[in-house]
Chains A and B, each alone.
Chain A
Amino acid sequence: MNKRLFALLSVLVLASMVLVACGGAAAPAATQAPAASGATEAPAAATEAPAAEAITLKIVSSLPMTGSSLTQTQTIVNAMQLRLEQANYSACGGAYTLEYEAWDDASAALGKWDPAVETENANKAAADTAIIAYLGTFNSGAAMLSIPILNAAGPLTMISPANTNPGLTKADKDLPGVTDSRYPTGVRNYSRVVAADDIQGKVAANFVKSLGATSVYILDDQELYGKGVADVFDATAQEIGLTVVGHEGIDPKAADYKALMTKISTSNAGGPPDAIYVGMVVDNNASQLLKDKFAIMGDNEKVKYVGPDGIQTQAFIDGAGADTAEGAYASVAGVALDKLPPAGLQFVKDYTAKFGNLTEPYAVYGYETMNVAIKAIEDVCAAGGDPTDRAAVNSAVFAIKDFDGALGNWSFDANGDASLTDMTFYQVQKGAYVPVGTFK
Chain B
Amino acid sequence: METTRKKFNWRRFAIASLVLYIVFLIGPVVGLDIPVVYAAIKANPLQLVQFLIIGISNGAIIAIIALGYTMVYGIIELINFAHGDVYMIGVFTSLTVLSLTGTLESKDPVKIVFGLILALIVSVVFCAVLNATIERLAYRRLRNAPRLAPLISAIGMSFIIENIGLMWAAQAWLVPSFGTTGGASQKVFPDMLGILFTSLGWDVNLLASSGIALRLTIKDVIVIVLAVALMTGLYLFVQRTRLGKAMRATAQNRDAAKMLGIDIDWVITATFLIGGGLAGAAGLMAGLYNNTAWWFMGFRAGLQSFTAAVLGGIGNITGGMLGGFLIGLLASFSDGYLNARWTNALVFATLVLILLFRPTGLLGEQTGQKA
Chain A interfacial positions (CB closer than 8 Å to B): 1-2, 5, 66-71, 74, 108-109, 111, 219, 222, 248-251, 253-260, 262-263, 266, 282, 285, 287-288, 291-292, 296, 313-316, 318-321, 324
Query: CB < 8 Å: which of A255, A266, A291 contacts B47?
Result: A266
In the assembled complex, the Cα of A69 lies from the Cα of B61 at a distance in Å of 28
Task: Enumerate chain B residues within 8 angstroms of A70, measured Cβ to Cβ.
Answer: 182, 184-185
**B182 close to A71 (CB less than 8 A):** yes
Task: Enumerate chain B residues within 8 angstroms of A111, measured Cβ to Cβ.
Answer: 184, 295-296, 299
**A260 close to B336 (CB less than 8 A):** yes
**B54 close to A258 (CB less than 8 A):** yes
In the assembled complex, the Cα of A273 lies from the Cα of B73 at a distance in Å of 47
Q: Which of A2, A219, A321 has the most CB of B within 10 A?
A: A321
Task: Enumerate chain A residues within 8 angstroms of B64, measured Cβ to Cβ.
Answer: none
In the assembled complex, the Cα of A248 lies from the Cα of B51 at a distance in Å of 18
Interface size class of B (residues with CB under 8 A): 35 or more
Q: Closest Cβ of chain A: how far from B180's Cβ, in Å?
A: 8
Task: Enumerate chain B residues within 8 angstroms of A253, measured Cβ to Cβ.
Answer: 296, 299-300
Show 30 residue pairs from A and B whose CB-CB distance is below 8 angstroms, ordered by the A residue. A1-B166, A1-B167, A5-B167, A68-B184, A68-B186, A69-B184, A70-B182, A71-B181, A71-B182, A108-B159, A111-B295, A111-B296, A248-B339, A251-B341, A253-B299, A253-B300, A254-B331, A257-B335, A258-B332, A259-B55, A259-B332, A262-B47, A266-B44, A314-B180, A315-B181, A315-B185, A318-B177, A318-B187, A320-B186, A321-B291
**A256 close to B336 (CB less than 8 A):** no
**B182 close to A74 (CB less than 8 A):** yes
**B341 close to A222 (CB less than 8 A):** yes
Contacts A2-B170, A266-B47, A319-B292 given; does A255 touch B61 at CB 8 Å: yes
Q: Given A70-B184, A71-B182, output 19 extra A-B contacts at Cβ < 8 Å.
A: A1-B167, A2-B170, A66-B184, A68-B185, A69-B184, A70-B185, A71-B184, A108-B159, A111-B295, A249-B341, A254-B343, A255-B286, A259-B332, A262-B47, A266-B44, A282-B185, A315-B182, A315-B184, A318-B177
Q: Closest Cβ of chain A: how far from B311's Cβ, in Å?
A: 17
**A1 close to B183 (CB less than 8 A):** yes
Contacts A70-B182, A71-B182 given; does A288 touch B290 at CB 8 Å: yes
In the assembled complex, the Cα of A51 lies from the Cα of B240 at a distance in Å of 80
Task: Enumerate chain B residues within 8 angstroms of A66, measured Cβ to Cβ.
Answer: 184
Scoring B residues 254 to 290 as 1 if CB is less than 8 Å from chain A, else 0, what string do you get?
Answer: 0000000000000000000000000000000010011
Chain B interfacial positions (CB closer than 8 Å to A): 44, 47, 50-51, 54-55, 58, 61, 159, 162-163, 166-167, 170, 177-188, 190, 215, 286, 289-292, 294-297, 299-301, 304, 331-333, 335-337, 339-341, 343-344
Task: Enumerate chain B residues within 8 angstroms of A257, measured Cβ to Cβ.
Answer: 335, 340
Q: How many A-B residue pairs lie within 8 Å, measured between CB atoms?
A: 135
Task: Enumerate chain B residues within 8 angstroms of A282, measured Cβ to Cβ.
Answer: 185
In the assembled complex, the Cα of A219 lies from the Cα of B335 at a distance in Å of 12
Q: Closest Cβ of chain A: how far from B161's Cβ, in Å?
A: 11
Task: Enumerate chain A residues within 8 angstroms of B336, measured Cβ to Cβ.
Answer: 259-260, 262-263
Task: Enumerate chain B residues within 8 angstroms of A287, measured Cβ to Cβ.
Answer: 185-186, 292
**B183 close to A259 (CB less than 8 A):** no
**A318 close to B55 (CB less than 8 A):** no
Give the dominant DSSP class at B's interface. helix
Q: Which of A67, A69, A108, A255 has the most CB of B within 10 A?
A: A255
Task: Enumerate chain B residues within 8 angstroms of A259, measured Cβ to Cβ.
Answer: 51, 54-55, 331-333, 335-336
In the assembled complex, the Cα of A258 lies from the Cα of B52 at a distance in Å of 11
**A321 close to B55 (CB less than 8 A):** no
**A255 close to B182 (CB less than 8 A):** no
Q: Closest Cβ of chain B: how far from A385's Cβ, in Å?
A: 41
Contacts A1-B167, A1-B170, A108-B163 given; does A255 touch B290 at CB 8 Å: yes
Contacts A108-B163, A250-B340 given; does A1 touch B182 at CB 8 Å: yes
Contacts A254-B343, A263-B336, A266-B44 given; does A288 touch B184 at CB 8 Å: no
7 cross-chain pairs, A with B, having the tightest CB-CB distances, nearest first: A319-B186, A315-B185, A249-B341, A259-B335, A321-B188, A68-B185, A259-B332
Q: Closest Cβ of chain B: how far from A322's Cβ, in Å?
A: 9
Task: Enumerate chain B residues within 8 angstroms of A74, measured Cβ to Cβ.
Answer: 182
In the assembled complex, the Cα of A254 lies from the Cα of B344 at a distance in Å of 9
Contacts A222-B341, A248-B339, A251-B340 given; does A262 touch B50 at CB 8 Å: yes
Q: Closest Cβ of chain B: how far from A404's Cβ, in Å?
A: 33
**B340 close to A314 (CB less than 8 A):** no
Closest to B296 in A: A111
Q: Closest Cβ of chain A: how far from B60's Cβ, in Å?
A: 12
Closest to B293 in A: A319
Q: Closest Cβ of chain B: how far from A181's Cβ, in Å?
A: 25
Contacts A248-B339, A259-B335 given; does A296 touch B184 at CB 8 Å: no
Query: CB < 8 Å: which of A109, A255, A262, A313 contacts B300?
Result: A255
**A260 close to B340 (CB less than 8 A):** yes
In the assembled complex, the Cα of A69 lies from the Cα of B51 at a distance in Å of 32
**A251 close to B344 (CB less than 8 A):** yes
**A318 close to B179 (CB less than 8 A):** yes
In the assembled complex, the Cα of A67 lies from the Cα of B219 at a distance in Å of 29
In the assembled complex, the Cα of A262 lies from the Cα of B167 at a distance in Å of 34
Query: CB < 8 Å: which of A1, A263, A313 contacts B335?
Result: A263
In the assembled complex, the Cα of A258 lies from the Cα of B300 at a distance in Å of 17
In the assembled complex, the Cα of A260 lies from the Cα of B336 at a distance in Å of 5
Q: Closest Cβ of chain A: how far from B242's Cβ, in Å?
A: 37
Q: Closest Cβ of chain B: how far from A231's Cβ, in Å?
A: 13
